Amino acid sequence: MFNCPQFLSLLERNVVANTTLHYRQMTLFAPTNEAFQRFNGELDDSLVLYHIANLATTLSNMDYAISTDLDGNPPLWVTTRRGAMHDDIYVNNAKVYVSRSYQAVNRNNKLQVLHVIDQVLLPLQPHGSSSISSPVYNPNAYHFLEHSDLFNIGQYRLRSFRQKVNQLKKSKVFDSDGRHTFFIPVDEGFKPTTRSDLIDEKVIDGHVIPHHVLFTHATPDAKEFETLAFGDNVKVIISFSTVMNGKDEITYVKSNTVAGDAKHARGVVLADIVRANIPVKNGVVHLIQRPLMVVDTTVIDFLKEKEDGPLCKFYEVIMDLGANNQFYNELTLAKDITLFAPSNEAWADFSVQNIIRNHQKLRDILNLHLVRERLPLDAIIHNNMNQIYQAPTASPRKYLYFNVLTRAQNQTLTVEGGGVNATVTLPNIAATNGFVHIIDRVLGVPYTTVFEKLKTDPMLNITYNLGKRQMFNQQLNDMEHRYTYFVPRDHAWLKFQIKHPSAFKSLFREDFGYFTKQILERHVIRAGRAYTVSDLKLLANETHPFVLPTSRDPLRLRVKESDKNYYVEWNGHWIHVFRPDVECTNGIIHVIDEPFVLESDIRATGAAHKVDLAYSYFVLFLSFCFVRIFEN
């Protein structure tokens, strides 16, 4: 039976299935042996009937639902995921191997179709003791909610949410015909008990996605769907998010209140799906760990809400500093904060493990993740529209810098702190005292060399491309030296281009590579150590310049601080340090607002441009002379 021997064994033991096989049309969904090995439910003989339909259905004529032979004829829900190369087809949560579908006729000349699938299909079944007396077969979502104690859903109880649905007279939401997705929070999610008081009719609506049956594997991560709570004033959307926790796959559902009111706060509420993909007559039910839309916890409460939650490692690191440490207390007591929280996977990095053992360094790193104001995603994007937005952190004189990447209709937010660029993987988790944005790296713990940072930082493209001349950049990968590199950002070079267009153009010419390299050498200090701006300020204050050796000329600098910004004086100009102390594994980058270019450099590049222009005129003149000679 096409590498499905375990399923064949179940099929042969079931009288109804055998009768169908010999005498009727049928569609058979056969799980592979590997699917049975992963399956940890009961292999009841009747389970096979949930894999059989009494009508032959090929891949091309599948409807959105297929009635099965199990008692009550519960449906299988079909999902087609469109792809660039081919479409994927799912039956409930099982993927159909489209290349392994077969057709045949039995001895009664009835067409039969076999589809091989990658999971065992699991129906909603009553407890063993209730299977005979249970009055409910093939329940819809409301009947399931009303009689949930009769069904085999593990240790979960749904009494609290059921009471709210009935109290608010919202049973029709779960009782309606059609195909929908329902999220039902378990009783454990109603702690503290005051949480129940925050659930109103709009919140109930926010737990239902109409007209879509969404099984977890069949639904793309992060794809957003409107809920019943998507109206004129309040607008709530829902999406799935799947992460790996060690070897385990955890699926979360997140409600995002994109437009709220006085009772319904804007932002994301994240809930663990504790039991997924329960098929019902009018769609699918997912049991979730807590109610959606309800914002009633502080930032620190969210971190510690679950022992295996999405930020449990971050919470452990915070508590390593001792109970009621300063950072913990600020997350608890502050009224308006935004926390950029590294995911569990981010803390597993080897370089991070080494640094967090140093508690003083750890305090600085934690403070780099905290902004003392509310910064939802749309505010960051708005502030970043006409300039690079920077937000002061709880670490003195250190900022976060944001960049918004737009591809098609999708926007991705990146944040940099302490030289580390991280992607915001899950934004806008709402708390009573602010927002949490989950990021994929720990800020302030460098993981790239100076060369790699130059290559990947979107603000430093021009300097990186200039450094390709005569392989200047290659040295910046060297781990045996420490580099301090004053790097003009792209905006600085564009200002230089406006003032000196010919000189700027010449910097990129292949035959001018030697001069370009000389200019860049003036920006780099290679020594046994790297210098932070604070180090330089101690060595070179406003009155006493300090001379640093570079590959080109001695670099005479003075450093001052004004209005929480640093400036370096070079060649009589005070130049703003836009991003100080971008840490790398082999040095430090200071991003500056003006390149170290001398007037003599400009004259040299201008002269080169004029020579090139003169040569062009000379060639043109010779060509003109030859034409006249031939004409005569």
Phi, psi of 134 (to 5 degrees): -60, 130
Q: Give 594-614 pLDDT, tens digit per residue.
A: 999 988 877 655 544 444 444
Using the predicted structure, report yes or no on whether residue 545 has a pLDDT greater than 90: no
First to last CA, the chain: 92
Superfamily classification of domain 5-117: FAS1 domain (2.30.180.10)
> Greater confidence, 285 or 244?
285
Q: What angle (nearest 5°) sits at the alpha carbon of residue 9, between those of residues 8 and 12? A: 85
Task: Find out whether 228 and 212 touch, Cβ atoms under 8 Å.
Answer: no
The reported pLDDT for the residue numbered 435 is: 97
Most confident of 211-215, 408-412, 498-502: 211-215
What are the residue boundaries of the structural domains of the chain, listed by start? 5-117, 128-296, 301-439, 456-607
The reported pLDDT for the residue numbered 134 is: 55
Give the CA distances from residue 371 to residues 90, 383, 436, 509, in Å, rounded to whole numbers and listed in that order.
44, 15, 10, 44
What single letter denotes the amino acid at residue 438? Answer: I
The pLDDT-based confidence of 355 (bands split at 50, 70, 90) is confident
- 277: alpha, beta or left, given left = phi > 0 and alpha = psi -120 to 50? left
> Greater confidence, 484 or 14?
484
Using the predicted structure, report yes or no on whether residue 132 has a pLDDT greater than 70: no
Domain 128-296 has CATH 2.30.180.10: yes
Q: Which CATH class is domain 456-607?
A: mainly beta
Picking from 460, 599, 565, 467, the residue whose alpha carbon sits closest to that of residue 524 is 467
Average pLDDT across the chain, whole number: 88
User: What value does the mean pLDDT take over residues 584-598?
Assistant: 94
The reported pLDDT for the residue numbered 385 is: 82
The pLDDT-based confidence of 253 (bands split at 50, 70, 90) is very high
Task: Tell the residue number behind the tokens 């602010």, with chain if given.
Answer: 434
User: What value does the mean pLDDT take over residues 61-88?
Assistant: 91
Using the predicted structure, report yes or no on whether residue 629 has a pLDDT greater than 70: no
Using the predicted structure, report yes or no on whether residue 196 has a pLDDT greater than 50: yes
The reported pLDDT for the residue numbered 1 is: 44
The reported pLDDT for the residue numbered 610 is: 47
Spatial separation of the C-alpha atoms in residues 52 and 487, rounded to whole Å: 67
The pLDDT-based confidence of 20 (bands split at 50, 70, 90) is confident
Considering the four listed CATH numbers 2.30.180.10, 3.40.190.80, 2.30.30.240, 3.50.50.60, the one that applies to the domain covering 301-439 is 2.30.180.10
Using the predicted structure, report yes or no on whether residue 129 has a pLDDT greater than 70: no
Q: Give 424-446 pLDDT, tens digit per residue.
A: 999 999 999 999 999 999 999 99
Is the backbone peptide bond immediately before 192 cis, with ω within 30 degrees of 0? yes
Torsion of CA 257, 260, 265, 269, to 10 degrees: -10
The reported pLDDT for the residue numbered 623 is: 52
Three-class SS of residue 366?
A: helix
DSSP assignment letter at 308: T
The pLDDT-based confidence of 531 (bands split at 50, 70, 90) is very high
Q: Give 135-166 pLDDT, tens digit per residue.
A: 668 999 999 999 999 998 989 999 999 999 99
The reported pLDDT for the residue numbered 171 is: 96
pTM: 0.83
Worst-scoring range by mean pLDDT, 114-128, 219-233, 431-445, 578-592?
114-128
The reported pLDDT for the residue numbered 624 is: 44
Fold match flag (128-296 vs 456-607): yes
Percent over 90 (pLDDT), the chain: 64
Using the predicted structure, report yes or no on whether residue 130 has a pLDDT greater than 60: no
The pLDDT-based confidence of 133 (bands split at 50, 70, 90) is low
Task: Tell the residue number behind the tokens 């905006």, with chain if given.
Answer: 491
Phi, psi of 576 (to 5 degrees): -70, 130
The reported pLDDT for the residue numbered 538 is: 87
The pLDDT-based confidence of 68 (bands split at 50, 70, 90) is very high
Percent over 70 (pLDDT), the chain: 92
The reported pLDDT for the residue numbered 252 is: 94
